[in-house]
């Protein structure tokens, strides 16, 4: 009897201590997303969303959404972090909901559909809204939102990764990659540099960074501008006169504060360009007409039955969806004061941006030296950070060529062109705009698979052999 009692006491103690101590995955389980509004289909992967506090003092918390790889065994696949740019734009709004994430949003702003080219077919996929003030990421020190910059963004993102890995310990030491586009041309190399430096001297680093890949990436102000004006002139968007004046009067080094003279030329250029989607020059822009048409379609049609054509207004759908209280609840978004409104890109963040170096080419030199796998891609119909800009920036690195310029193939068609340098692989995606995976989802999946495998882009022979 006594023994039995004693056994019972021990058992109770064990259960109590068990629930308090041996559960490092507690927060992970709490962050599991179980019921997502508007998801009328099943998925064969788990996903998690929530906040991670990156600074206790200022109470800064970054929001993530993580998708396990579609696989019998996600533990066999690496981990990839995706970042969008701006600065101030949400990786959930763009990367996830428009480009390479599994869930995209219908025209009604309420219903989700499955993206058959989601990158979590190839990798465990982590989206992060960074820095604070972007998407659902926030600081309780609200002045933080107007005082972001490159340096703190990298430091907070590093703090995020270290804490996130405590929550998801099975990814400690896992092969890890970072990818992103646009202004993330700063974030991605800068965070990679912060990780490489943090890992220095560690034998088994938790963040096992293997490489990074950026697309239509802001890299070097001078070369980005040089290529920009050349591109918009050569595709016939601006006049000869404007092109000549811009070359003569604009200081290509300074990005955010052009001179008065240059500003005039830029205004003239804008006027000449007209109402075009500068992020994708050959597709329709989101005009009022499109927007109204979408609202009608969203209201009156069972969306699933419509053939899905290119929709230039996807941003508007996410601004409905991610403001729904039931969606925020399902994603474990911290309750904020009632004036909070989720936006795709925060002007408060971009307008208050504090530090942004003129170039990150020095970071490339350091990271190439460190042996990371570095890929740079470019959708060749973007006029914001066009393919010409990226080529000038890469050229400025003065890397020896390993494999010369050639076409790469996807299903027997030219998917774009590629050149391999010592320490860097360059890939263009033909017909894609600034958001490559939005315009060319299938080719983008081929791209990330090649990147992760560390192989060259497919050639024509490879395709016909298989």
Q: Which residues belong to the active site? A: 182, 382, 434
Q: How far is the CB of 336 from ligand NAG (least distance, A)?
A: 8
Q: How many residues does the chain have?
A: 466
Near ligand NAG by CB under 6 A: residue from 3, 34, 339, 466: 339
Q: How far is the CB of 332 from ligand NAG (least distance, A)?
A: 12
Beta bridge partners, 213, equal 179, 375
Q: Is 59 in the site for ligand NAG (CB under 6 A)?
A: yes
Q: Is 143 in the site for ligand NAG (CB under 6 A)?
A: no
> Which of the ranges 23-31, 53-61, 129-137, 203-211 carries the binding residues for ligand NAG, by CB under 6 A?
53-61
Near ligand NAG by CB under 6 A: residue from 49, 61, 125, 436: 61
Nearer to ligand NAG, 142 or 301 (CB): 142
What is the C-alpha to C-alpha distance for residues 215 and 158, in angstroms, rounded to an integer?
21
- With beta carbons less than 8 A apart as the criterion, state whether 144 and 54 touch: no
Kindly determine how many residues on this chain lie close enough to bind ligand NAG according to the rule CB under 6 A.
7
**Among candidates 56, 55, 64, 72, which has minimal Cα distance to 27?**
64
Query: Strands, E, within 149-264: which ranges?
Result: 175-182, 208-217
Q: How far is CA 396 from the centre of its chain?
A: 25
Nearer to ligand NAG, 53 or 283 (CB): 53
Q: How far is the CB of 54 from ligand NAG (least distance, A)?
A: 8
Q: Which residue is nearest to ligand NAG (CB)?
A: 59
Binding mask 293-332 for ligand NAG (x = CB under 6 A): ----------------------------------------
- With beta carbons less than 8 A apart as the criterion, state whether 193 and 367 touch: yes
Q: Is 27 in the site for ligand NAG (CB under 6 A)?
A: no
Nearer to ligand NAG, 166 or 272 (CB): 166
Q: Is 337 in the site for ligand NAG (CB under 6 A)?
A: yes
Residue 236 region, left (φ>0) first, then alpha (ψ -120 to 50), else beta? left
Near ligand NAG by CB under 6 A: residue from 142, 241, 261, 263: 142
Q: What are phi and psi of 212, to 5 degrees?
A: -145, 160
Beta bridge partners, 125, equal 67, 80
Nearer to ligand NAG, 332 or 439 (CB): 332
- With beta carbons less than 8 A apart as the criterion, state whether 99 and 437 touch: yes
Report CA dihedral (457, 460, 461, 463) to the nearest 10 degrees: 80
Structure tokens at 12: 């109770």
Strands 60-67 and 373-379: unpaired
List b or e across 206-226, with b for residues whose CB sees 16 or more CB atoms inside 10 angstroms: bbbbbbbbbbbbbbbbbbbbb
Nearer to ligand NAG, 61 or 313 (CB): 61
Nearer to ligand NAG, 142 or 261 (CB): 142
Near ligand NAG by CB under 6 A: residue from 25, 27, 140, 254: 140
Q: Is 141 in the site for ligand NAG (CB under 6 A)?
A: no
Contact set with ligand NAG (CB under 6 A): 53, 59, 61, 140, 142, 337, 339
């Amino acid at each position: 009897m006594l023994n039995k009692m004693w056994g019972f006491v021990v058992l109770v103690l064990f259960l109590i201590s068990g629930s308090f101590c041996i559960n490092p995955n507690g927060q992970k389980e709490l962050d599991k997303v179980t019921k997502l509004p508007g998801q009328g289909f099943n998925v064969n992967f788990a996903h998690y969303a929530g906040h991670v506090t990156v600074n206790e003092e200022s109470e800064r918390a970054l929001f993530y959404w993580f998708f396990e790889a579609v696989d019998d065994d996600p533990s066999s696949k690496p981990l990839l972090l995706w970042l969008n740019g701006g600065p101030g734009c949400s990786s959930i709004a763009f990367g996830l909901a428009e480009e390479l994430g599994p869930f995209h949003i219908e025209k009604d702003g309420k219903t989700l559909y499955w993206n058959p080219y989601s990158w979590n077919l190839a990798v465990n996929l982590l989206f992060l809204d960074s820095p604070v003030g972007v998407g659902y990421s926030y600081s309780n020190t609200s002045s933080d939102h107007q005082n972001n910059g490159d340096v703190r963004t990298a430091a907070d993102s590093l703090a995020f990764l270290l804490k996130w890995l405590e929550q998801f310990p099975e990814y400690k030491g896992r092969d890890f990659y970072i990818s992103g586009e646009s202004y993330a041309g700063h974030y991605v190399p800068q965070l990679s540099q912060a990780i490489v430096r943090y890992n220095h001297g560690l034998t088994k680093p938790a963040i096992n960074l293997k490489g990074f890949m950026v697309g239509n990436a802001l890299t070097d102000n001078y070369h980005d501008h040089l290529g920009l004006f050349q591109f918009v002139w050569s595709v016939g968007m601006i006049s000869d006169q404007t092109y000549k004046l811009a070359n003569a009067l604009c200081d290509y080094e300074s990005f955010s504060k052009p001179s008065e003279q240059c500003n005039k030329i830029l205004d003239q250029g804008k006027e000449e360009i007209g109402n075009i989607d500068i992020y994708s020059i050959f597709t329709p822009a989101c005009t009022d007409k499109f927007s109204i048409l979408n609202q009608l379609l969203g209201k009156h049609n069972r969306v699933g039955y419509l053939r899905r054509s290119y929709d230039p207004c996807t941003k508007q759908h996410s601004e409905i969806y991610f403001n729904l209280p039931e969606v925020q609840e399902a994603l474990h978004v911290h309750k904020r004061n009632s004036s909070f409104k989720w936006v795709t890109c925060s002007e408060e963040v971009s307008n208050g941006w504090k530090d942004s170096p003129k170039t990150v080419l020095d970071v490339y030199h350091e990271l190439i030296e460190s042996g990371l796998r570095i890929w740079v891609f470019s959708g060749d119909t973007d006029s914001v950070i066009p393919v010409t800009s990226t080529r000038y920036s890469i050229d400025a690195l003065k890397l020896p060529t390993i494999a010369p310029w050639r076409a790469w193939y996807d299903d027997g068609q030219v998917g774009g062109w590629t050149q391999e340098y010592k320490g860097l692989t360059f890939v263009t995606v033909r017909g894609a705009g600034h958001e490559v995976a939005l315009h060319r989802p299938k080719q983008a999946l081929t791209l990330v698979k090649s990147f992760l495998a560390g192989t060259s882009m497919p050639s024509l022979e490879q395709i016909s052999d298989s």
